[in-house]
Amino acid sequence: MRVLFASSEMFPVVKTGGLGDVTFSLPHAISDLGVDVRVALPAYRSVLEEVEGLRVAGWLPLASGEEVRILSARHSAIEVPLWLVDAPSLFDRVGQPYTDPHGHDWGDNARRFSVFSEACAMLADDRLGIDWRADVVHANDWQTGLLPAFCALLPTPPRTLFTVHNLAYDCQVDFRTFNELGLPTYWWSMEFGEFYGRLSMLKCGLVFSDLITTVSPRYAQEIRTSEFGYGYAPVLDRYADKLVGVLNGIDDKTWDPATDTFLEAHYHAAGKIRSGKRANRTALLAAMGASTEAPATDGPLIGSVGRLVYQKGIDLLLDAIPNLLASSDARFVFVGSGDREIEQRLLALTHAHPQRVFAHLGYSERLAHLVEAGCDLFAMPSRYEPCGLNQMYSLRYGTPPVVRDTGGLADTVIDASPRTLARQEANGFVFEEATAEALQAALERAFELFRNPKQWMKMIKIGMRSDYGWRRSAEQYLLLYRGE
Question: In the bound complex, which residue of the shown chain has the CB atom lying closest to ligand ADP?
Answer: 18
* Site stretch for ligand ADP (CB under 6 A), options 229-237, 342-350, 359-367, 396-404: 359-367
Residue 44 vs 378, nearer CB to ligand ADP = 378
> Residue 303: helix, strand or coil by DSSP?
strand
Q: How far is the CB of 214 from ligand ADP (least distance, A)?
A: 13
Regarding beta strands 357-361 and 377-380, do their DSSP bridges make them parallel or antiparallel, or are they unpaired?
unpaired
Restricted to residues 20-49, the positions that interact with ligand ADP (CB under 6 A) are 21
Nearer to ligand ADP, 134 or 287 (CB): 287
Residue 475's region, left for phi above 0, alpha for psi from -120 to 50, else beta, is alpha
Strands 194-195 and 198-200: antiparallel
Under the criterion CB under 6 A, does residue 188 sit at the interface with ligand ADP? no
Q: Which residues bind ligand GLC (CB under 6 A)?
A: 17-19, 22, 165-166, 215, 248, 385-389, 408
Choose the one of ligand ADP, ligand GLC, none that binds residue 307, judging by a C-beta under 5 to 8 angstroms depending on kind: ligand ADP
Q: Which of 79, 365, 448, 467 touches ligand ADP by CB under 6 A?
A: 365
- Taking CB within 5 to 8 Å according to partner kind, which of ligand GLC, ligand ADP, none is near residue 364? ligand ADP
Mask of contacts with ligand ADP, 312-351, x by CB under 6 A?
-----------------------xxx--------------
We find the least distance from the C-beta atom of residue 28 to ligand ADP, in angstroms, to be 16
228 CB-side CA count, 13 A: 21
97 or 386: whose CB is closer to ligand GLC? 386
User: Which of ligand ADP, ligand GLC, none interacts with 84 (beta carbon under 5 to 8 A by kind)?
Assistant: none
- Partner whose footprint covers residue 365, from ligand GLC, ligand ADP, none (CB < 5 to 8 Å by kind): ligand ADP
* Contact residue for ligand ADP among 119, 305, 318, 446 (CB under 6 A): 305
Q: Give the nearest distance from C-beta 162 to ligand GLC in angstroms.
A: 13
Q: Which is nearer to ligand ADP, 136 or 389 (CB)?
A: 389
Reported as half-sphere exposure (CB side, CA atoms, 13 A), residue 156 has a value of: 8
d(CA 428, CA 461): 11
Nearer to ligand ADP, 232 or 393 (CB): 393
Q: In the chain, what are the helix, strand and coil shares in percent, each to the nearest 5?
A: 40, 20, 40
Torsion sign across C-alpha atoms 177, 183, 189, 191: negative
Residue among 90, 80, 206, 85 nearest 140 (CA): 206
Decide which of ligand GLC, ligand ADP, none touches 368; Cβ closer than 5 to 8 Å per partner kind: ligand ADP
The pairing of beta strand 211-214 with beta strand 198-200:
unpaired
Interacting residues with ligand ADP between 381 and 440 (CB under 6 A): 387-390
Alpha carbons 430 and 417: distance in angstroms, whole number: 10
Contacts made by residues 187-194, CB under 8 angstroms, sequence distance 24+: 187/149, 192/149, 193/149
Partner interacting with residue 215 (select from ligand ADP, ligand GLC, none; CB below 5-8 Å by kind): ligand GLC
Largest Cα–Cα separation, the chain? 71
Q: How far is it, in rounded angstroms, from Cα 62 to Cα 80?
A: 26
Among the candidate windows 13-21, 123-131, 138-146, 434-442, which touches ligand ADP by CB under 6 A? 13-21
How many whole angstroms separate alpha carbon 447 and alpha carbon 141? 38
Contacts of 451 (CB under 8 A, 6+ apart): none
Q: Quick one: how far is CA 27 from the chain centroid?
A: 15
Closest-CB residue for ligand GLC?
A: 18
Binding residues vs ligand ADP (CB under 6 A): 17-18, 21, 305-307, 335-337, 363-365, 368, 387-390
